[in-house]
Amino acid sequence: MRSETQILSLCEIEKQNGYMASVREYTDCLFAENGIRPRVFVLTLGCQQNVSDSEKLSGMANEMGYDITDTPEDAHLIVVNTCAIREHAEKRALSLVGQYKHIKQKRPELIIAVCGCMVAQEHRVEQIKKSYPYVDLLFGTSSIHRFPEFLASKIKTKKRALHFHEPERVVAEDMPVHRDSSYRAWVSVMYGCNNFCSYCIVPYVRGRERSREKQQIVNEVRELVESGYKSITLLGQNVNSYGKDLDTEYDFADLVQELDSIEGDWWLDFMTSHPKDASRKLIDVMAAAKHVTHHFHLPMQSGSDSVLRAMNRRYDFEKYIGIVDYIREKMPDATITSDIIVGFPTESEQDFEDTLNALRRARFDMIFSFIYSPRKGTPAAEMEQISDKIKSERFERLLATQNEISLCQNKPLEGKTLKVLCDGRSKTDDGVINGRTEGGKIVLFEGDDSMTGKFLNIKIERGETFALYGKVVK
Tell me which residue of 343, 363, 359 sits closest to 408, measured CA to CA.
Answer: 363
Stretch of residues binding ligand SAH (CB under 6 A), selected from 140-148, 245-253, 345-353, 369-377: 369-377
Mask of contacts with ligand F3S, 62-101, x by CB under 6 A?
Answer: ---------------------xxx----------------
Q: Is 206 in the site for ligand F3S (CB under 6 A)?
A: yes
CA 279, 284, 290, 295 dihedral sign is positive
H helices of 234-348, in order, are 252-260, 280-288, 305-310, 317-330
Q: CA distances (Å), 386 to each of 65, 354, 357, 371, in order?
A: 51, 17, 21, 11
- 115 sits near ligand F3S (criterion: CB under 6 A): no
Strand partners, 468: 443, 463
| Minimum CB–partner distance for residue 202 and ligand SF4 (Å) | 4
Shortest Cβ 272–ligand SAH spacing (Å): 4
E-assigned strands of 47-174?
67-68, 77-82, 111-116, 137-139, 161-162, 170-171
| CA dist 49 → 116, 391, 396 (Å) | 10, 28, 29
What is the contact mask toward ligand SAH in residues 242 to 281, using x (rule: CB under 6 A)?
Answer: ------------------------------x-x-------
Residue 196 lies near ligand SF4 (rule: CB under 6 A): yes
119: contact with ligand F3S by CB under 6 A: no
Footprint of ligand SAH on residues 57-86 (CB under 6 A)? 85-86
239 binds ligand SF4 (CB under 6 A): no
User: What span, in angstroms and rounded, lies between the C-alpha atoms of 235 and 225?
Assistant: 17
> Are 356 and 363 in contact, with CB atoms under 8 Å apart?
no
**Given the complex with ligand SAH, which of 205 and 331 has the nearer CB atom?**
205
The one segment of 199-207, 216-224, 366-374, 402-410 that binds ligand SF4 by CB under 6 A = 199-207
196 binds, among ligand F3S, ligand SF4, ligand SAH, none (CB under 5 to 8 A by kind): ligand SF4
In angstroms, give the least distance from the CB of 323 to ligand F3S: 23
Which of ligand SF4, ligand SAH, ligand F3S, none lies near 143, with the C-beta cut-off 5 to 8 A by kind?
Answer: none
Residues 170-209 that bind ligand SAH (CB under 6 A): 199-200, 202
DSSP 8-state secondary structure symbol assigned to residue 301: B
The CB-of-277 to ligand F3S minimum distance in angstroms stands at 19
117 binds ligand F3S (CB under 6 A): yes
Q: Which three-class secondary structure state does DSSP give residue 13?
A: helix
Residue 424's Cβ-count burial label (10 Å; 0-12, 13-18, 19+) is middle
40 sits in the region (left: phi over 0; alpha: psi -120 to 50; else beta) called beta
Q: Coil, strand or helix: which one is 261?
A: coil
What is the binding site for ligand SAH (CB under 6 A)?
85-86, 199-200, 202, 237-238, 272, 274, 299, 301, 339, 341, 370, 372-373, 375
